[in-house]
Chain A
Amino acid sequence: DAGVIQSPRHEVTEMGQEVTLRCKPISGHDYLFWYRQTMMRGLELLIYFNNNVPIDDSGMPEDRFSAKMPNASFSTLKIQPSEPRDSAVYFCASSLRVEQFFGPGTRLTVL
């Protein structure tokens, strides 16, 4: 298996622009998680899905953030409009029963 796939790996954008991060979970996994990692705040859970349904989005920082999972093999995290404080590494992870498997992350820089 290819593991969790995230794209793009790096994204540089300007403040106010829309940013879309993409994730393909491991085939057969029924949980998908989005995390944000910064030096200041560490690893933060933003939202997670079970069987494509959002279960807990209490970690989404504000209305500028939205996430979707239209099918079992694809999820997006969108930021609109982006702000410099959104600069971070965003991880997607998937899980079947117990362990989480992480993607390589997307490093987002908002200028």
Chain B
Amino acid sequence: AQTVTQSQPEMSVQEAETVTLSCTYDTSENNYYLFWYKQPPSRQMILVIRQEAYKQQNATENRFSVNFQKAAKSFSLKISDSQLGDTAMYFCAFMKHFRNTGNQFYFGTGTSLTVIP
């Protein structure tokens, strides 16, 4: 079974500073996908960034980037130049396609990030 662990329940960062959210996962699979989702107070789940395990290059989306360490099974999210609108719950997620059961997703427990003005 696949598991996703987010060991930081809560974090805070000063506006304009950089913060890194941690995520580790456990799998015996070689090909899979990893995601970070953002859930602001509006509760809408928004995809922030995705990473294919077969790609060594770390994904980036504007101020959001990941540090993907496949051997260590680590997938951290770095937010640069933090903005007040980044205040949200952040979920790390793992997806693997299985022949019999299709796409299976696993989510971490989330990290609540507060950006302080």
Q: A residues touching B (Cβ–Cβ < 8 Å)?
A: 31, 33, 42-43, 45, 50, 55-56, 89, 91, 93, 95, 98-102, 104-105, 107
Q: Classify the interface of chain A: helix, strand, loop or mixed.
A: strand
- The reply to whether B45 and A99 form a contact with Cβ atoms under 8 Å apart is no
Q: B residues touching A (Cβ–Cβ < 8 Å)?
A: 33, 35, 37, 43-47, 50, 91, 93, 95, 101-105, 107, 109-110
CB-based nearest B residue for A33: B105
**What is the minimal beta-carbon distance from A14 to any residue of chain B, in angstroms?**
24
- Given A93-B45, A98-B50, A102-B44, the answer on whether A50 and B109 have CB atoms closer than 8 Å is no
Q: Classify the interface of chain B: helix, strand, loop or mixed.
A: strand
- Given A89-B43, A101-B47, the answer on whether A43 and B102 have CB atoms closer than 8 Å is no
Bound form: Cα–Cα A56–B101 in Å: 8
- The reply to whether B43 and A105 form a contact with Cβ atoms under 8 Å apart is yes
- The reply to whether A91 and B47 form a contact with Cβ atoms under 8 Å apart is no
**What is the minimal beta-carbon distance from B15 to any residue of chain A, in angstroms?**
27
CB-based nearest B residue for A45: B105
CB-based nearest B residue for A91: B45
**What is the minimal beta-carbon distance from A6 to any residue of chain B, in angstroms?**
11
- The reply to whether A99 and B47 form a contact with Cβ atoms under 8 Å apart is yes
Question: Cβ of B93: which chain A residues have Cβ within 8 Å of it?
Answer: 100
